[in-house]
Amino acid sequence: MGKASKDKRDIYYRKAKEEGWRARSAFKLLQIDEEFNIFQGVKRVVDLCAAPGSWSQVLSRKLYAPAKMSPDHRDGDLPLIVAIDLQPMAPIDGVIQVQGDITNARTAEVVIKHFDGCKADLVVCDGAPDVTGLHDMDEFVQSQLILAALTIVTHVLRVGGKFIAKIFRGKDTSLLYCQRHLQFVRIIHLLKDLMREIYITFWKRWAVLPGLTI
> Where is average pLDDT lowest: 4-18, 45-59, 181-195?
181-195
Would you state the pLDDT for residue 197?
65
- Is the pLDDT at 77 greater than 60, yes or no? yes
Neighbours of 26 (CB within 10 A): 23
Name residue 163's beta-bridge partners. 123, 202
pLDDT-derived band at 199, boundaries 50, 70, 90: confident
Radius of gyration of the chain from its Cα atoms, rounded to whole angstroms = 17
In a domain, 185, yes or no: yes
State pLDDT tens for residues 14-40: 999 999 999 999 999 999 899 889 999
> Where is average pLDDT lowest: 14-18, 33-37, 91-95, 205-209?
205-209
State pLDDT tens for residues 124-175: 999 887 778 787 787 788 878 888 888 899 899 998 888 888 877 666 666 6
In a domain, 62, yes or no: yes
166 catalytic? Reply is yes
In a domain, 211, yes or no: no
Q: Which of 153, 87, 98, 151 is CA-nearest to residue 120?
A: 153
> Would residue 6 be called left, alpha or beta, if left means φ above 0 and alpha means ψ between -120 and 50 degrees?
alpha
Would you state the pLDDT for residue 141?
82
Query: Distance of CA 197 to CAs 55, 70, 86, 139, 150, Å?
Result: 16, 37, 23, 10, 18
Pairwise CA distance, residues 169 & 138, whole Å = 10
Pairwise CA distance, residues 93 & 65, whole Å = 8
CATH of the domain at 27: 3.40.50.150
- Is the pLDDT at 192 greater than 60, yes or no? no
In a domain, 37, yes or no: yes
Selected catalytic residue, list 28, 119, 162, 166: 166
Average pLDDT of the chain, as a whole number: 82
Q: Containing domain of residue 168, as a range?
A: 3-205
In a domain, 160, yes or no: yes
pTM of the model: 0.85
In a domain, 84, yes or no: yes
In a domain, 82, yes or no: yes
> Structurally, how many domains does the chain consist of?
1
Give me the percent of the chain exceeding a pLDDT of 70.
74
In a domain, 54, yes or no: yes
Residue type, 168: F
- Is the pLDDT at 108 greater than 90, yes or no? yes
5 or 104: which leads in pLDDT: 104
Chain centre distance of CA 128:
11
